[in-house]
Amino acid sequence: GAVVSQHPSRVICKSGTSVKIECRSLDFQATTMFWYRQFPKQSLMLMATSNEGSKATYEQGVEKDKFLINHASLTLSTLTVTSAHPEDSSFYICSASLLWTGTGGYTFGSGTRLTVV
């Protein structure tokens, strides 16, 4: 089946540094990737939608300069948290659209737990 590989699974970084999270589609081309943030015991909140070769569309309230999304190829999308601060600590999940399969569905990465100290 369609698999999205997300790395790293866990990362601890110092306040003020930047962290990059990668999502790779292993056996299909992901034209659209969605990036979510999930706080403990809460739901997934969409941060942005990225399409290969174009600028990402950010949800209201998400700082585009802080959460840089790049989708330069059909198999790789990255989220960079710039100048991270403790309040950016969260669980980040990517998801690729599988609409091309006719199922109307999505496949999710395994998530990245970011801790900013």
Partner 1 sequence: AQTVTQSQPEMSVQEAETVTLSCTYDTSESDYYLFWYKQPPSRQMILVIRQEAYKQQNATENRFSVNFQKAAKSFSLKISDSQLGDAAMYFCAYRSDTGTASKLTFGTGTRLQVTL
Judged by the rule CB under 8 A, the positions of this chain that interact with partner 1 are 31-32, 34, 38, 41-44, 46, 49, 51, 57, 91, 93, 95, 97, 99-100, 103-106, 108, 110-111
**Structural contact between residues 45 and 60, judged by C-beta atoms closer than 8 angstroms:** no
Rounded to a whole number of angstroms, the minimum distance from the CB of residue 83 to partner 1 is: 26
Cα 103 from Cα 92, distance rounded (Å): 25
Structure tokens that stand for 8 in this block: 């790293």
Rounded to a whole number of angstroms, the minimum distance from the CB of residue 71 to partner 1 is: 12
Which CB sits closer to partner 1, 16 or 99? 99
Q: Which residues are CB-neighbours of 84 under 8 A, at least 6 positions away?
A: 13, 15, 16, 17, 18, 19, 114, 116
Which CB sits closer to partner 1, 38 or 115? 38
